[in-house]
Amino acid sequence: MPRNPDSAAAPSASSAGHGRMEKLLVLAAVCLSLLALPFNFTGPAVAMPAIARSLGGDPIALNWITNAFMLCFGSSLMIAGALADGYGRKRLFLIGQAVFLLASLALTVVHDLLVLDLLRALQGGAGAGAFSAGLAALAQEFDGQARTRAFSLIGTTFGIGLAFGPLLSGLLVETVGWQAIFLGTAVLSAIAFGFGWRFMRESRDPGAAGLDWPGAASFTTALSLLTYAVLLAPEEGWGSAWVVGLLAGTVALAALFIRIETRAARPMLDLTLFRFPRFVGVQLLAAAPAYSFVVLLILLPLRFVGIEGWGGVGAGWMMMALCGPMLVVPMLAALLTRWFSAGVLCGAGLLVTAAGLVLLSQVPPGMAAAAMVPPLLVIGLGISLPWGLMDALAVSVVPKERAGMAAGIFSTTRVAGEGIALAVVGAILAGFVRTGLATVSGPVDPATLTLAAQRLAMGDLAQAAATLPQAGPALLVQAYGDAFHGLLFVLAAITVVSAVVVFGFLSRTVPVAEPELVPAAE
């Protein structure tokens, strides 16, 4: 593999001659496809209380509405990136969109929680295919600063979905029903499919030699086992035989994957890339927003609806304060790369985000909604800086023809990190709540205390009060507020450490679109 990606930066034959308008329509197809992902991520979080009333289920089962999507999305991204390079970006994009569309339509008529979770898993796998193929297709269409601007629109697209998704979801849940959320994602998928079918040109890596099936199988299985172990641990305990066995399987399969990739002629993951600091830095950057921003997309709606009692629409309006900056800041970040390195901008954004998390920790439940708006805006402003630059960085640190692989690696790191972060942060919050409840509830059965803590961490104040009636709603809210306060300080500390790491790996002044791959030894 060449060290300088510019040596392989010539446009592929399939994209040669693509006019400006056609390129913009391809960008529109990818943006419409990606718009369905944040809407599909935040919407079920707002609708979860309504889904629980409709289909039933305990807190663990309801968590899988989000976890099933995240697990399959994150586990499939690496394979999707390799398939996009080897078998065609347009082909995989259209297949992913079609399956996502069908799964979304099926979710509108489901009447069983288990079936809903399975369809969410199918959505995740299909979304991974469309996501990786779409980013790889854009990398073939745009170069230089045009690529930076195009990928900054990806961040803006996510911002639109994240900003308006909770509000629109709340309106749909309260006026039509939670099924309408999935109908909305189906409409977006259908439009994206039509644009992609008409305007996207086929492209692939001319050096691809087919999918590395042994590597793909071992990697996907290892990642699935790891994610499932983290998701299961809060329910079973880290010392349970199931969790220990899953973690042991993860280690064994990871070792097997490394062995396979070091011997493969055309590996799914080129392990030599990890010699380059910028490539390593991009992967570390991918996981940073999980603890500073993504977990809030789930935890805050649960708090607003279940603890604050604002309703779905009220929660949606409040989430706009958090996600609104993404409507403009990613484009601003792309412009700022003319004067500052992407690493400096990303690290500075993470520090601003950490400050916002500390400010948010000072707003306990029950305060006026206006008190929460400033810290949410600070968090949204800070995280929008790296959010608009990450995807362009991901595909710029490898040769252009391997853009699908780069998108797959980066997206796998990001989404797998988000899935693990959701499970870990949820467990931390439930643990903090349990500790607080233990001090106010008096002698109580440990299993009952744990169940009450889980329900309260999920924002189900009514069920937590029914499980632990001796505590009373006021003490339950106080315990939740203290736990949330402590959790935000933990998230702020993780974010500061992430910022320091990003400064160390990515702060060199290298243009986003034309990086220099410098081995770590140098």
Q: Which residues of the chain have pLDDT under 70?
A: 1-19, 58-60, 143-145, 147-148, 152, 155, 159, 162-163, 204-212, 231, 234-237, 265-270, 272-273, 312, 391-408, 411, 440-443, 506-522
Check if the beta carbon of residue 423 is closer than 8 Å to that of residue 233.
Answer: yes
Question: What's the pLDDT score for residue 353?
Answer: 92
Nearby residues of 119 by Cβ (< 8 Å), 6 or more positions away: 103, 106, 107, 110
Whole-number pLDDT of residue 384: 83
Instruction: Please indicate, yes or no, whether the overall pTM of this predicted structure exceeds 0.75.
Output: no
- Distance between alpha carbon 246 and the CA centroid of its chain, in Å? 23
The neighbour count for residue 245, using CB atoms within 10 Å, is 12
Q: What is the pLDDT of residue 375?
A: 93
Residue ranges and CATH numbers for the domains of the chain are: 5-211+268-506 (1.20.1250.20)
Other CB atoms within 10 Å distance of the CB of residue 12: 17
Conformation bin of residue 364: beta by default, left when phi > 0, alpha when psi is -120 to 50: beta
Reported as a single tens digit per residue, the pLDDT across 229-261 is: 876 776 666 778 888 898 899 899 888 888 887
Say which DSSP state 3 is in.
S
Per-residue model confidence (pLDDT) at position 518: 40
Q: In this predicted model, what pLDDT tens digit does every residue of 353-379 receive, in sequence order?
A: 999 999 998 888 878 878 888 999 999
Say how many C-beta atoms besides its own lie within 10 A of residue 435's C-beta: 15
List, in order, residues 6 or more apart from 408 with CB less than 8 Å away: 77, 78, 79, 80, 81, 82, 84, 132
